[in-house]
Amino acid sequence: MRHASQLLILALALAATPALGKSSDRNQPMDISADRTDAMLGDDSVSTLEGNVRIRQGTLEVDAARAEVIRAAGEINRIVLTGAPAVLRQVSDAGEPMEATAGRIVYMLGDETMMLTGNVVITQPRGTLRGETIKYDINTGRLDGGGDGARVQMRILPKSATAN
């Protein structure tokens, strides 16, 4: 029962990611699996999924070595995905695929932002963005990278080109 409750908490938190991809994904069932879980259902707690963490919901696919769900005052306020790398894939409402990889992906539910750190690569059909630290605003789609001493690299393809 403890395992099922933790998976439900994680499912509800990840289902709240509106601008990452298809809006219909939020209405799809979510399948989550991991080798192990250590869950607390208290108002202020950290629950952990470890080992081959896989999350699937519609076009959303997440693969990570570890996922932590942090609750404060009874609400989920942060999800931390780590891996070598952690991978997030999704298709937008326009049908364009997006893939983000990073050593660590932190989703802050309160301000609907994601902080990707550690060899970040974000790939979409029109180009690629690389850096050590990239902040993604889910509501606006704005990517803010750099400022950490490492260079940001972008490749923007012409509209007529297809990504290889």
Residue pLDDT, tens place only, 60-87: 888 999 999 888 898 878 889 999 999 9
Tell me if 164 is assigned to some domain.
Answer: no
More confident residue, 66 or 43: 66
Residue 54 CB: number of other CB atoms within 10 A? Answer: 14
Question: How many domains, in total, are found in the chain?
Answer: 1
pLDDT at 19: 43
Q: What is the pTM of this model?
A: 0.78
The residue-averaged pLDDT of 134-147 equals 83
Tell me if 163 is assigned to some domain.
Answer: no
Tell me if 131 is assigned to some domain.
Answer: yes
Tell me if 108 is assigned to some domain.
Answer: yes
CA distances, 79 to each of 14, 22, 56 (Å): 8, 20, 16
Tell me if 68 is assigned to some domain.
Answer: yes
Reported as a pLDDT band with limits 50, 70 and 90, residue 3 is very low
More confident residue, 19 or 161: 161
In the predicted structure, residue 97 carries a pLDDT above the cut 60: yes
Any idea which of 12-16, 36-40, 87-91, 149-153 has the lowest mean pLDDT?
12-16
Tell me if 80 is assigned to some domain.
Answer: yes
In the predicted structure, residue 38 carries a pLDDT above the cut 60: yes
Whichever domain contains 89, its CATH number is 2.60.450.10
Provide the residue range defining the domain that includes 43.
Answer: 2-156
Q: How far is CA 27 from the centre of its chain?
A: 18
In the predicted structure, residue 8 carries a pLDDT above the cut 60: no
pLDDT at 18: 41
Instruction: Classify residue 55 as exposed, middle or buried by CB count within 10 Å of its CB (0-12, 13-18, 19+).
Output: buried
pLDDT at 52: 95
Instruction: Classify residue 29 as exposed, middle or buried by CB count within 10 Å of its CB (0-12, 13-18, 19+).
Output: exposed
Tell me if 94 is assigned to some domain.
Answer: yes
Tell me if 162 is assigned to some domain.
Answer: no
Reported as a pLDDT band with limits 50, 70 and 90, residue 9 is very low
